[in-house]
Amino acid sequence: MQDGGNEMLALLCEEARETALLESIEALLGWDERTYLPPAGGAFRAEQMTYLSGWIHRRRTDPRIGGWLDQLLDSPLAADPHSDSGATIRELNREYRRLVKLPPAFVEELTRASVLGQQAWTEARKNHDFPSFQPFLERIFTLKREQAEQWGYSNEPYDALLDDFEPGAQTAEVAETLESLRAGLAPLVAAIAECGRQAPSELLRRDYPRAAQQAFGEQAAAAIGFDFRRGRLDVTHHPFCSGLGPDDCRITTRFDERHFSSAFFGILHEAGHGMYDQGLRSDQFGLPPGSYISLGIHESQSRLWENLVGRSAAFWQHFFPQAQQHFPEALAGERWEDFWFAVNAVRPSLIRVEADEVTYNLHIIIRFELERAVLSGELTVGDLPQAWNERYRKYLGITPPGDGDGVLQDIHWSAGLVGYFPTYSLGNVFAAQFFRQAEQDLGDLTDRMGRGDFAPLKQWLNQHIHQVGRCYRASELVQHITGQPLSAEPMIQGLRDKLLPLYGLA
Ligand code: ZN
């Protein structure tokens, strides 16, 4: 390479950007499908999206890309792994190699199995009928094991699947972190259950008119830094955030007029995801330095705003008077301290997506242990319902009345998403590590939040996380920012500091 590879890198980047444009069009069709598409438009939309995804796949597996990468990997441009060019070459190479390792017939088979799996799951969940779903799930786990073999792994098949969502993460390390999280949270949950004090949860179950919820939610999202000139909020059944491009980020929510938390904390959560997307470097759109690092880091941004900010005392000192203005009938004459306690209620429950900030992680740990055991052959798919119920008894002290509220409650496995669950709890762990560092760096973070000033925190996240893009792997980023490896300690400590006084235990 006469110019050290610069020309070849430019070709590679142009190709990647063009593919990213197609992906953003696909994402727009997906957003529309989940928000405004008329019911009868589903079949044609599926045709459009299948066409586009086939086109995208052919582009991403174009052998020319492999040729360019082969040469660039040995060039000086790849020497510094944290530079824009180094990260671009490393990450595009990773993506290309993973895609070309899977034979097209296998990809089709996996897609088919997960479409059939989701259909069978929908029926099975409704009827609490695990046996009707079992053969579909067995097929999916068989294919996921094959996929792990095709991708290759260092210690166990789970490594390969986890790596798809959390690049560079090792199962053993994640297991250790989650185990220390469980060991730290279990006594806290038990102490709260036995203390006899109850959060005034009834406050959240009064009349919260939808229009006022939307106005208050948008006001809070804008106040923490979600830019509504470059994004919007719409309504859906299963809320999500979709970053369509540098200046167009779509967040979604759903409203329940008899429950304050579902929309409000959902909006803060999705706004946190959205602010990550809005904070990425526009000049690197479609390239690794302008892309999110991993699902765990993405989730750290949503959980940080939802829980560490949105469930803090400082946040409600500032926002409660505004909430009273939006919901005078529900909240006139109430105290912010009681409302704050209510949004921090901790109680073991059956359903993951409705769980509180603490017990949520026990739901995740159960799923992680089970999917890892099935993949390694320690458990069979047929063992899952019983193993699930045993763990719910052991970790949460409750037993699901039927499999619909137990082993069948999540869509993930039916859709072929194995190795995905731990990224939710990793997000919580990362969030607490980042937040502690931001507190140290900024000094007066709590005071500022109490005055409604969230700009310093947002700028800190922009600078240390969003602008870094994919130039660091998740574990490197944590080390780089905090000087510490991945650790559950800040999260456990933060929850104890907040909850023990609330429950009169400190
Ligand atoms: Zn999320």
At 343-391, the pLDDT tens digits run 999 999 999 999 999 999 999 999 999 999 999 999 999 999 999 999 9
What distance in Å separates the CA atoms of residue 452 and residue 224, rounded to the nearest whole number?
Answer: 8
Q: How far is the CA of 70 from the centre of ligand 1 (A)?
A: 36
Q: How far is the CA of 298 from the centre of ligand 1 (A)?
A: 7
Q: Near ion ligand 1, which residues have CB within 5 Å?
A: 299, 302
What distance in Å separates the CA atoms of residue 470 and residue 177, rounded to the nearest whole number?
Answer: 23
The answer for residues whose C-beta is within 8 angstroms of residue 113's C-beta and 6 or more apart is 136, 139, 140, 143, 416
Residues 345/214, Cβ–Cβ less than 8 Å:
no
At 113-171, the pLDDT tens digits run 998 999 999 999 999 999 999 999 999 999 999 999 999 999 999 999 999 999 999 99
Residues carrying an active site annotation: 270
pLDDT mean over 426-433: 98
How would you label 384-411 residue by residue, b for 16+ Cβ within 10 Å and e otherwise?
bbebbbebbeebbeeebeebbbbbbbbe
Q: Tell me what pLDDT residue 501 has.
A: 97
The DSSP H or E segment spanning 304 is none
Q: How far is the CA of 199 from the centre of ligand 1 (A)?
A: 25
Pairing of strands 231-235, 241-245: unpaired
What distance in Å separates the CA atoms of residue 137 and residue 410, rounded to the nearest whole number?
Answer: 13
What distance in Å separates the CA atoms of residue 11 and residue 139, rounded to the nearest whole number?
Answer: 40
Token reading at 455: 């700009």
Beta bridge partners of 317: none
Query: Cα(first)–Cα(last) distance of the chain, in Å?
Result: 66
What distance in Å separates the CA atoms of residue 88 and residue 145, rounded to the nearest whole number?
Answer: 29
Instruction: Report the share of the chain in percent with pLDDT over 70.
Output: 100
Q: Tell me what pLDDT residue 372 has.
A: 98
At 250-285, the pLDDT tens digits run 999 999 999 999 999 999 999 999 999 999 999 999
DSSP state, residue 467: G
Q: Tell me what pLDDT residue 393 has.
A: 96
At 172-195, the pLDDT tens digits run 999 999 999 999 999 999 999 999
- Answer yes or no: is pLDDT of 3 > 80: no
Q: Tell me what pLDDT residue 141 has.
A: 98
Q: Tell me if the domain spanning 171-502 has CATH number 3.30.70.1450.
A: no
Q: How far is the CA of 135 from the centre of ligand 1 (A)?
A: 30
pLDDT mean over 426-446: 97
Q: How far is the CA of 470 from the centre of ligand 1 (A)?
A: 19
pTM reported for the whole predicted model = 0.96
Q: Tell me what pLDDT residue 404 has.
A: 94
Q: Tell me what pLDDT residue 341 has.
A: 98
What distance in Å separates the CA atoms of residue 308 and residue 428, rounded to the nearest whole number?
Answer: 9
The DSSP H or E segment spanning 117 is helix 104-126
The one-letter code for the residue type at 132 is: S
The answer for residues whose C-beta is within 8 angstroms of residue 2's C-beta and 6 or more apart is none
Beta bridge partners of 235: 253
Q: How far is the CA of 295 from the centre of ligand 1 (A)?
A: 9
Q: How far is the CA of 272 from the centre of ligand 1 (A)?
A: 8
Q: Tell me what pLDDT residue 18 has.
A: 98
Token reading at 1: 């390479």
**CB atoms closer than 10 angstroms to residue 253:** 25
Q: How far is the CA of 270 from the centre of ligand 1 (A)?
A: 7
Q: How far is the CA of 475 from the centre of ligand 1 (A)?
A: 19
Q: Tell me what pLDDT residue 2 has.
A: 62
Maximum Cα interatomic distance, the chain, rounded to a whole number of Å: 75
What distance in Å separates the CA atoms of residue 159 and residue 145, rounded to the nearest whole number?
Answer: 11
pLDDT mean over 107-111: 91
- Answer yes or no: is pLDDT of 1 > 70: no
The one-letter code for the residue type at 243 is: G
Q: How far is the CA of 132 from the centre of ligand 1 (A)?
A: 30
What distance in Å separates the CA atoms of residue 300 and residue 293, rounded to the nearest whole number?
Answer: 11
List Cα–Cα distances, 102 to 15, 146, 148, 152, 162, in angstroms.
21, 10, 10, 11, 16
The DSSP H or E segment spanning 252 is strand 248-253
At 470-494, the pLDDT tens digits run 999 999 999 999 999 999 999 999 9
Beta bridge partners of 232: 250
Residue 226: exposed, middle, or buried by beta-carbon count in 10 A (0-12, 13-18, 19+)?
A: buried
- Answer yes or no: is pLDDT of 311 > 80: yes
Q: Tell me what pLDDT residue 4 has.
A: 77
Displacement of CA 262 from its chain's centroid (Å) = 17
